Amino acid sequence: MTEAIQKSLRESPVARWTAMVVVSLSMFGAYYFNYAGSSVKPLLETALGWTSKDVGLYTGSYPWFNVFLFMLIFSGIILDKLGIRFTGLAATGIMVIGTGINYWAMTSLPSDTIVMLPLFGAIKSQVLFSCLGFALFGVGSEATGITLSKAIVKWFKGKELALAMGLQMSIARLGTALALAVSLPIAIKYSYSTPILLAFVLMLLGLIAFIVYVVLDKRLDASEKDLEIEEEEPFRIKDIVSIVSNKAFWYIAILCVLFYGAVFPFLFYAPDFMINKYHVAPKLAGLIPMLLPFGTIFLTPLFGGIYDKKGKGATIMIIGAVMLLFVHIFLAIPFISQWVIAAILVVILGIAFSLVPSAMWPSVPKIIPERQLGTAYAVIFYIQNIGLWLIPTVLGTVLATSNPAVAPNKALIKSSIEVSFNKALAENNINIKTKQLNDAIEKTTGRIVDSIVQSTFYQPTPQNALNAEQLKNAIIASNLLAAKQINLGNDNKASLQAMIKAYTKSTYPIIKNAKLNITYNYENDILIFVLLGVLSVVVSLLLKAEDKKKGYGLELPNMEK
């Protein structure tokens, strides 16, 4: 047998980098879907009547099954027991199913049906089933994440490990950038559900990508069949004890939940935050937070390459944590309301988000044996999921509590517009399909709210001084008068477009003169992120001290010479 035949397939740069790209594509759609729903928060409020608490519950539902049913831990054990191929195929399939359920719930269930549940209390059935779909998707997404981490270690151990992990994250984060950039604009142009439909298509493509990876992985195993490879001890349940008794492991896990908790939930609310604090146009609001994942696409592999060749992993994590804290402190300052400054801060946050993960994930194999990596990553992801459940849920509740008048006032506007459409259409004997009418009401309400939030500055009228019924009647009367000034003929589509334009124009000054409060103040939510930043700095310093004490080599290069 020749020496060439006896070489492992991973010795071929083309083969291992191809495997990295293919397996990474299975997470591209997952990262898109993670932010597609939260990015259209303004439309979920105006079209479906969701509140900030509903949106917080939805974004926080992603880890429900992972946290409360321990699905992530089971996923890690399954990965170590049954391998990368089985776990990855099952996980990507579950993502497809979860996304499909989410789309069905948002488009097929009524938005006003309430169910009573223990612990949750009253909850819209549409919100509940959307959450269940997102939670099922979360099982597949997290299982795919730990599978990809172990797959990259398998192909790149002793080689460009940090660079490969960085590139894998970069490809996935292209999905995040896409969601932040296009979800709200395409939802405004088409429907609030269109971004979710796109996510379903991307999930199917991700499943196909992992099937391609399975073929490559089988070829890798075949290439190593006749090689002398050191046999690993099989994974045992008691290995979990050795993992959780490792102090450095806990520092990485806690840093993960704190750092990601200060970034991912921020991105959930970032487009709406940009609209409300920095008065950015809704169609452009996602472009500023898009700078964060888009920047990491280039920087994470760069910092990973530095770690591979130069080391300093613990130091890199400290620098990233300090930058994270710096950004959230400045975002919390009330009088800084220029969008240019917000864009600069997001770029800095993107650098921080490139530094910490580029060093954190490749550091785990230095602390944990390879046979335990699946479970180790699963435990870290499990702890991270606790944060991804708790933090968005708390943020949504805090936002709703801090701004109790906003959701009812938006509902008042929508109700007024709905009555205006129905009365005008009835008076002119025009029959419109329900979906067309709902789309028209959604677009009109959205345009009015967006115009006020983006371009009008006033001290809102206290809610107890507002006569809601009088304001609603004034809007309806003004809209019906405006409808009489336009030609409502036989062309239903043209009639709707004319009414949308007329109602937007006639309602805007009434809302402005009444100084109706429909702008969210995010100050308390950003202060939560500041606290997470402080704790991230403390934990990263403790991790470096533990590495110095135990000699794990976090400050040493990854590449073997």
412 domain-assigned = yes
Q: Do 435 and 396 sit in the same domain of this protein?
A: no
32 and 107 both lie in a single domain:
yes
The DSSP H or E segment spanning 12 is: none
pLDDT of residue 2: 41
Determine the pLDDT at residue 1: 35
Q: From CA 365, how far away is CA 68, in angstroms rounded?
A: 27
* CB distance 461 to 515 below 8 Å: yes
- DSSP code of residue 135: H
Q: What are the structure tokens assigned to 487, written together?
A: 């030609």
Question: Closest Cα to residue 107, out of 192, 43, 169?
Answer: 192
Of 202, 166, 162, 165, the residue nearest 182 (C-alpha): 202
Would residue 195 count as lying in a domain? yes
Please give the structure tokens belonging to residue 259.
């750092």
Q: How many domains does the chain have?
A: 2
Buried b (16+ CB within 10 A) or exposed e, 111-126: beeeeeeeeeeebbeb
Same domain, 433 and 545: no
Does residue 435 fall inside a structural domain? yes
Centre a 10 Å sphere on the Cβ of residue 397 and count the other Cβ atoms it contains.
16
Closest by CA position to 473, among listed 516, 513, 407, 415: 415
Looking at residue 109, what DSSP letter applies? S
- pLDDT (tens, 9 = 90+) of the chain, 561 residues, equals 344 445 667 777 788 888 888 888 888 989 899 888 777 877 788 778 888 888 888 888 888 898 888 887 788 788 878 888 899 899 999 999 999 999 999 888 887 788 777 766 778 889 889 999 999 999 999 899 888 888 888 878 777 777 888 788 788 888 888 888 888 888 888 888 899 999 999 999 999 999 999 888 888 877 767 655 555 555 566 667 778 788 998 999 999 999 888 988 888 888 888 888 888 887 777 788 888 777 677 777 778 778 878 888 889 999 999 999 999 999 999 888 888 999 999 989 988 888 888 888 788 888 887 777 767 877 887 888 888 888 988 998 899 899 998 888 988 999 999 999 889 888 888 888 888 888 888 888 888 888 888 777 888 888 888 888 999 999 999 999 988 888 776 667 788 888 889 999 999 999 989 998 988 899 999 999 999 999 999 999 999 999 899 888 888 886 665
Check whether residue 185 and residue 287 sit in a common domain. Answer: yes
Nearest residue to 514 (alpha-carbon basis) of 455, 477, 454, 474: 474
- The span from the CA of 529 to the CA of 80, in Å, is 35
Let me know: does 126 contact 104? Beta carbons within 8 Å.
no
> For 200-242, what is each residue's pLDDT tens digit?
999 999 999 999 998 888 888 777 676 555 555 555 666 677 7
Write out 363-428 in H/E/C secondary structure. Answer: HHHHHCCHHHHHHHHHHHHHHHHHHHHHHHHHHHHHHHHHCCCHHHHHHHHHHHHHHHHHHHHHHC
What is the three-state SS of 31-44? HHHHHHHHHCHHHH
DSSP state of 232: P
Domain shared by 260 and 279, yes or no: yes
Task: Indicate whether 359 and 445 sit together in one domain.
Answer: no
> Coil, helix or strand for 124?
strand
| pLDDT score at 197 | 93
Q: Examine the domain organization and report whether 507 and 545 are in the same domain.
A: no
**In angstroms, rounded to a whole number, what is the distance separating the alpha carbons of residues 356 and 374?**
20
Token code pair at residue 466? 């507002």
Question: Quick one: CA torsion of 82, 84, 87, 93, rounded to 10 degrees?
Answer: -150
Between the two ends of the chain, the Cα-to-Cα distance in Å is: 27
**Are both 68 and 128 inside the same structural domain?**
yes
Q: Same domain for 42 and 184?
A: yes
Cα(452)–Cα(503) distance, integer angstroms: 14
Give pLDDT, residue 326: 95
- Is the separation of the CB atoms in 214 and 86 below 8 Å? no
Collapsed DSSP state (helix, strand, coil) of residue 279? coil
In eight-state DSSP terms, residue 560 is -
**Residue 460: DSSP 8-state:** P
Residue 535 near residue 258, CB atoms below 8 Å:
yes
Same-domain status, 215 and 352? yes
Of 424, 390, 426, 435, residue with least CA distance to 506: 424
Question: Both 478 and 530 in a single domain?
Answer: no
- Domain with 539 in it: what CATH number? 1.20.1250.20
C-alpha gyration radius of the chain: 26
For residue 355, is it within any domain?
yes
The residue with tokens 């896409």 is 178
Q: How far apart are CA 257 and CA 260, in angstroms?
A: 5
Mapping DSSP to helix (H, G, I), strand (E, B) and coil, where does residue 114 land?
Answer: strand
Structure tokens at 152: 């990259």
Q: Which of 181, 145, 189 is nearest to 30 (CA)?
A: 145
Compute the distance between CA of residue 533 and CA of residue 503 in angstroms, rounded to an integer: 45
Kindly state the tokens that stand for 444.
């009109």
Instruction: Quote the DSSP letter at residue 10.
Output: G
Amino acid at position 224, single letter: E
CA distances from 205 to 51, 152, 173, 202, 209 (A): 32, 20, 16, 5, 6
**Residue 201, pLDDT score:** 93
In a domain, 272, yes or no: yes
Residue 117 pairs in a beta bridge with 121
Alpha carbon distances (Å) from 395 to 83, 269, 285, 353, 398: 37, 9, 20, 20, 5
| Phi, psi for residue 116 in degrees, rounded to 5 | -105, 125
What pLDDT, on a 0 to 100 scale, did the predictor assign at position 325? 95
- The per-residue pLDDT for 5 is 45
Q: For 318-355, write each residue's pLDDT tens digit.
A: 999 999 999 999 999 988 888 899 999 998 998 888 88
Shared domain check, 357 and 258 = yes
Residue 228 within any structural domain of the chain:
no
What CA–CA distance (Å, rounded) separates 126 from 362?
40
Domain of residue 56 covers: 16-221+245-403+521-550
Q: Which residues pair with 114 in a beta bridge?
A: 124
Residue among 79, 102, 101 at smallest CA distance from 90: 79
Q: Is residue 559 part of a domain?
A: no
Angle at 275 between CA 271 and CA 278, to 5 degrees: 115
Domain assignment of residue 127, yes or no: yes
